[in-house]
Amino acid sequence: MKKLKRQFLLLLSFITSVTAVMITFQTRKRLKESIPFTGYTHSHLTKKISEHIVASEPKQFQKGILKIIFGTLTYDMSHLQFPNISYLECDVHLGAVTILIPSNVNVILESKSLLGNCASLTGRYLEDDIPQLYIKAHAYLANLSVRCIDDFQS
């Protein structure tokens, strides 16, 4: 019985690995070529590295796009100014992303994940009188978290 269980776990592990490789190779070229710089105030592509980025230019955030493959990214947006409504798109494949926002911004997270996790850990509820940041996230074998800069530093 133990031998059968071990074989099943090995088979499951193999299937997961093959699926990860297939997703990676199918999306790698698309991710590399799909960073549209026009129309976005902020955009970034991370591949196979770990980065900590403090977004500062341009100062006003309106619409952004982040694409991560095989990488880890900490994207600090706490120095930016947000209008009443702004948008951020995130695609994460086999990686991890932490997005840091200022304490006066409310996050509305719409996410889809496959063997991963997307979470808004700001501890804020929908408030009408502060800027709203709408995040549309896709995480495939990856994790994405949105955190308030005040909670991250302490």
pLDDT tens digits for range 118-136: 888 776 666 667 888 899 9
Strand order in the sheet with 132-140: 42-47, 63-69, 85-93, 132-140, 106-114
Does the pLDDT of residue 147 top 70, yes or no?
yes
Closest by Cα among 49, 87, 89 to 66: 89
Look up the domain containing 36 and give its range.
2-153
Does the pLDDT of residue 102 top 70, yes or no?
yes
The better pLDDT of the pair 62, 35 is held by 62
Number of domains in the chain: 1
3-class secondary structure, 31: helix
Q: How confident is the model at residue 24 (pLDDT cuts 50, 70, 90)?
A: low
- How far apart CA 143 and CA 59 sit, in angstroms, is 27
| pLDDT score, position 134 | 92
| pLDDT score, position 153 | 59
